[in-house]
Amino acid sequence: MPPLEKVVEGVEATLKLYLEDSYLKSTRAMVVKAVKSGGRYYLVADRTVFHPKGGGQPSDRGAIRGSGYEAAVARAMECRGVVVHWCKPVSGVPCEGEAELAIDWGFRYLLMRRHTAAHLLDYALAEVLGEYRPAVSSWLDHPAYVEFKGPAPGSSEVREVEEAEMRLIEEGLPVEAKHMPSEEVERLPTVKGVRLPKLSRYRVIQIGDLPPIPCGGTHVKNTREVGGFRVLKLEDCGGSFKLYFEV
């Protein structure tokens, strides 16, 4: 298995279409590199709809169909701004040239709903506890959770958090991605105690008129699309706690 650095050598950064439109299910693209490794292929295209694993969001999966071949994308990975699709050939031999890239939309849409619910949890928790709690980690595949810093809430508080989250979902708040300079981001209550990469500008998610949250993931357009929310389990990690949830 070649190191990813080797695969992306000399390749320009990928145009990440999912950052602009998370509802885009497929795109035509130019496969600029195809590297065989055992029975698998690493395919790199000039643009992609595949969100790589990162920021708690699991990688998209799907298919790439090019001239005389079809490959199943098991996962997408990012290296130096380049998205690499790790593929298993279904038919033919993957190669460079024009291709159609399509994600597994059912899985992605579930991730978008969970991801938006995970952000709403910041606000629901702040409403119940009276202050923002820094999110230290999250995972959006099943079982999905967000881990927050601080002492674990009691079971009645968890029920209140669920109710606050459901109110935010039912309010049908618009969800938008925009960019903010770092000096504005540093003042947000939602980033207090959160470790961020050093950047001059951040992509942030704005839900209604709530304070934005820096994020590079994919979300639904309106909180109503989250559909529902249930806390499955509270895990006390000593100094932090995990809220497992499903939408």
Binding residues for Zn ion, rule: CB under 5 A, are 115, 215, 217
- In this complex, which beta carbon is closest to Zn ion, that of residue 8 or of residue 226? 226
Least Å from the CB of residue 207 to Zn ion: 10
- In this complex, which beta carbon is closest to Zn ion, that of residue 31 or of residue 215? 215
DSSP secondary structure of 145-166: EEEEESSPPPHHHHHHHHHHHH
Q: Which residue is nearest to Zn ion (CB)?
A: 215
Pairing of strands 26-37, 15-16: unpaired
Cα 90 to Cα 65: distance, rounded to the nearest angstrom: 10
- In this complex, which beta carbon is closest to Zn ion, that of residue 31 or of residue 140? 140
Alpha helices in the chain (DSSP H): 4-7, 17-20, 105-129, 155-170, 182-185
How big is the CA angle at 196 (ends 242 and 86), to the nearest 5 degrees? Answer: 80
- In this complex, which beta carbon is closest to Zn ion, that of residue 85 or of residue 113? 113
- In this complex, which beta carbon is closest to Zn ion, that of residue 51 or of residue 115? 115
Least Å from the CB of residue 2 to Zn ion: 31
Least Å from the CB of residue 185 to Zn ion: 14
- What DSSP state is assigned to residue 171? T
Least Å from the CB of residue 31 to Zn ion: 29
Least Å from the CB of residue 167 to Zn ion: 20
